[in-house]
Amino acid sequence: MTPGRQAPRRPAMIVTRFAPSPTGRLHVGNIRTALVNWLLARGGGGRFLLRLDDTDAARSTAAFAEAIEADLAWLGLNPDDRVRQSDRADLYEAEFARLIAAGRVYPAYESPEELELKRKLRAARGLPPLYDRAALALTAEERAAKEAEGTPSHWRFRLDHGSPITWDDQVRGEQRFDPALLSDPVVRRADGSWLYLLPSVIDDIDMGITHVVRGEDHVSNTAAQIQMFEALGAAPPVFAHLALLTGSEGALSKRLGSLGVDALRDEGIEAVSLAALLARIGTRRPVEPVDSVEALAKGFDLADFGRAPARFDMAELEALNTRILHALPFDAVAARLPDGMDAAAWKAIRPNLTRLSEAADWWAVVTTDPALPELTAEDRAFLARAADLVAAGASDWAGLTAALKAETGRKGRGLFLPLRLALTGRDHGPDMAALLPLIGQDRALARLKAAAKE
């Protein structure tokens, strides 16, 4: 290669990651982040990885890790690979040693109380809570003395104040930070444990992450992390910071903020409904029903996301869930339907559902004879006539009701309601024309006869 000329960069395959800490259940905010990372990877034929940020050993649990996997699987956001930070201590140690050698991390000896005092003093002078780099100013002798005294040291990353930190955020546009206005971040605690910032960068490099998409609460972390990528000799990935979610009344309510995916599932929300909403709120594209999460990957573009907070509205989710259910094909739900319920039954019953679980109730209406309805003598006589017609072979609803109408002069409610009551035990429900063939001639006849009896 000619000196001074860079090799053309190969268009890299998109590699994204979702990096939750297994210290709790996933809520709608995390799921949105996972989904957008998945869509970005899938939409571009790339890879989507799961990384469990479990460096906080005290709060991370195997049960939460399993629950995260289960929630992702429920949503159909299956990772192509998965890693756990707790398995990668050797890598962090090696990279940390490189940063020490390069003078990009330094030990700091202040206790939490001292730091708090420094913050207060600065606040009293109207200064922002910036770390004053006192530890960086220590001479080798002073440092040796601290070590000899056994003063515990934590470690800070030394930000380079030389030039502004900039990046072209795929959601927020051009970002610019003056590193001198940021504290050198603590990257490692005195007990040797890691804070999130540095391991995340080491992993993103090692895992070949090309795009980091996360919530806008991470924007200032990104500024520091960009310098960490550079200090480790890597080009930073593309960054995109999603605007936060809010509830319908403005700020995200406590309930919504902590609204677990598990709670939504238990409430009967379809995974695809949640995905369809979360993929579009806060974007310029409409929320629309789809029948699979894959369908959302078509035409997915980070540039569609805006900077304004995205509004998450439970009522909108419920309405979308209903619309989606009414259009879901049998194959998408077959495994979750009651035994014996076939495609025709699904088609007949789904327009009446707001939750898939309600299908079982309507299927029971088909398969189980109802309690006898209260009817007038006149209605019973009418049903006896209906029974005769069914016995004589009338099996379709249109034919049966047309014949009854012609014979009895009944119409509207007077014609339909007694039949519905006798056949289903309910005064409302799926279209009888679709339901009657499911009930079948034998059961229909038995129900009409039973209801017609005194």
The residue ranges that bind ligand GLU (CB under 6 A) are: 19-21, 53, 196, 200, 214, 218
Cβ–Cβ < 8 Å for 107, 135? yes
The residue among 245 and 353 lying less far from ligand GLU, judged by its C-beta, is: 245
Distances (CA, A) of 431 to 216, 416, 436, 449: 48, 11, 9, 21
Smallest distance, ligand GLU to C-beta of residue 84, A: 12
Smallest distance, ligand GLU to C-beta of residue 83, A: 13
Q: Which residue is at the shortest CB distance from ligand GLU?
A: 53
The residue among 56 and 388 lying less far from ligand GLU, judged by its C-beta, is: 56
Smallest distance, ligand GLU to C-beta of residue 11, A: 24
Smallest distance, ligand GLU to C-beta of residue 10, A: 25
Q: Could you count the other beta carbons within 10 Å of the beta carbon of residue 381?
A: 13
Distance CA 250, CA 13 (A): 38
Beta bridge partners of 169: 173
254 annotated as ligand-binding: yes
Distance CA 128, CA 119 (A): 8
What is 166-193 written as a DSSP string? EEEETTTEEEEE-GGGSPPPEEE-TTSP
Distance CA 97, CA 80 (A): 31
Smallest distance, ligand GLU to C-beta of residue 214, A: 4
Cβ–Cβ < 8 Å for 389, 398? no
Cβ–Cβ < 8 Å for 33, 18? yes
Residue 371: what residue type? A
- Both tokens of residue 341? 């319920």
The residue among 77 and 290 lying less far from ligand GLU, judged by its C-beta, is: 77
The residue among 19 and 404 lying less far from ligand GLU, judged by its C-beta, is: 19
Q: In 22-80, which ranges are E strands?
A: 47-52
The residue among 86 and 151 lying less far from ligand GLU, judged by its C-beta, is: 86
Least Cα distance to 109 among 99, 118, 101 occurs for 118
Q: Kindly state the greatest CA–CA separation across the chain.
A: 110
Torsion-angle region of residue 299: left (phi > 0), alpha (psi -120 to 50) or beta?
left
Taking CB atoms within 8 Å and a gap of at least 24, the contacts of 85-91 are 85/51, 85/52, 85/53, 85/54, 85/55, 85/194, 85/199, 85/203, 86/52, 86/54, 86/55, 86/57, 86/60, 88/199, 88/202, 88/203, 88/206, 91/202, 91/206
Distance CA 92, CA 190 (A): 16
The residue among 309 and 418 lying less far from ligand GLU, judged by its C-beta, is: 309
The residue among 200 and 273 lying less far from ligand GLU, judged by its C-beta, is: 200
The residue among 21 and 246 lying less far from ligand GLU, judged by its C-beta, is: 21
The residue among 224 and 281 lying less far from ligand GLU, judged by its C-beta, is: 224
φ, ψ of residue 81 to 5 degrees: the values are -160, 160
- Known binding residues are 254
- Known binding residues for ATP are 254
